[in-house]
Amino acid sequence: MWTYHNPVKITFGNNGFSSLPGLIDGRSYALVTYPDAPFDALAQKLISDTGQPVLIIRDIAPNPDYKLLEKQTAKFAKLSSQPDVIVALGGGSVIDSAKAFAAAAGDFSKVKRFLETQTGEEELSEIPIIAVPTTAGTGSEVTCWATIWDEERGRKFSLARTNLFPETALVDPMLMLGKPHGLTMATGLDALSHSIESIWNINANPVSTRYAVAAARTILADLPALLNDLQNPDLRSRIAEASLFAGLAFSNTKTAIAHNLSYPITLEWKVQHGIACSFTLPTILRSVVGIGGFREKALKDIFGDDLVKGADDLTAFLASLGVGSQFTDHGVPHNSCAAIIDEAFAGERGKNFIGSKESFLKAARETGVLRLSPV
């Protein structure tokens, strides 16, 4: 028995941004976005077509952190009433921040309590969100969780509630034109990781797996071409659709071991998230050879019948983008790896993984990814 559920209304297509006023539909709204010039222009167009928002939060930073979120949330507390809807215009950090604001409604301490103790959920608020992603990677526009960081204490949390699914995901690939090479690559690899992680996952189901296969095959085929032609609207559209499909896949499964390995690498060694969660994919793929069932069939649909060769091909794919598949390639010393791996496999996302720590370590030793003593 299996189930699949995703309640987000999806609007996809070039120049879809023009439909945003109709989605707001006369409601009071808060706008959450970045401080950069292109977003200022989009904000002005929205205001011209829709009217003034009750609040604009435009100082969103990568990896939404406790301290900044607390200051930003306090601005909602000063409003005479909370907005009817929050418009999140930007990448995953913007959409994740909007989810924190929707749950806090002016009091971030309620969110902190829930994240740290898993109590007080009944005190959290619910404000609808219209998510307008401007990068193709996070899939946050179709998931019900947000990644929140406490960098001061070196912690990462997932704010997960079913009422944090956005009301609408408005995906306009034209908003992604002009994104730089590095951002396009990192977000594309994040989407690739989402798709594959949803397959070697205890929560995988046939629907999520079909989305995942379609997403991964498109990214592997088209991301290198896009990186050589950043202004190509057709390639932008294909990668945007693949990212959306990856989001629809892992919206039902959550991520798994590659992401859990990535979090301390991002926190301590400042490796960009999309890189940190993708460089271990070949090793993990080797470790699940022979798992059988629809998961192995899905992996073979992506990488071919010989999954060992598929792992070699994936290593070569990443290398062609300048991404090494060893921890040391990303500044992580060998003597830190054992603790990272132990913690990752013990964590929630690690427990989603269909494989085992022993099989991962075996694959890592055999390929020289890690210099580890036998288990």
Predicted pLDDT at 372: 54
Domain check: are 67 and 201 in the same one? no
Based on the domain organization, do 185 and 162 belong to the same domain?
no
Strand (E) or helix (H) holding 77: helix 66-77
Domain identity same for 165 and 201: no
| 3-class DSSP string for 155-187 | EEEEEECHHHCCCEEEECHHHHCCCCHHHHHHH
Ranges under pLDDT 50 in the chain: 374-375
pLDDT at position 370: 80
Domain boundary among 111, 142, 174: 174
Model pLDDT for residues 247-266, shown as the tens digit of each residue: 999 999 999 999 999 999 99
pTM of the model: 0.96
Q: Is the dihedral of CA 302, 195, 236, 227 positive or negative?
A: negative
Nearest alpha carbon to residue 137 among 171, 168, 114: 171
Range of the domain at 36: 9-174
Q: At 97, which CATH number?
A: 3.40.50.1970
Is residue 375, in this structure, part of any structural domain at all?
no
Q: Are residues 168 and 189 in the same domain?
A: no
pLDDT value at residue 374: 47
Same domain, 167 and 198: no
- Residue (of 17, 80, 76) closest to 50 by Cα position: 17
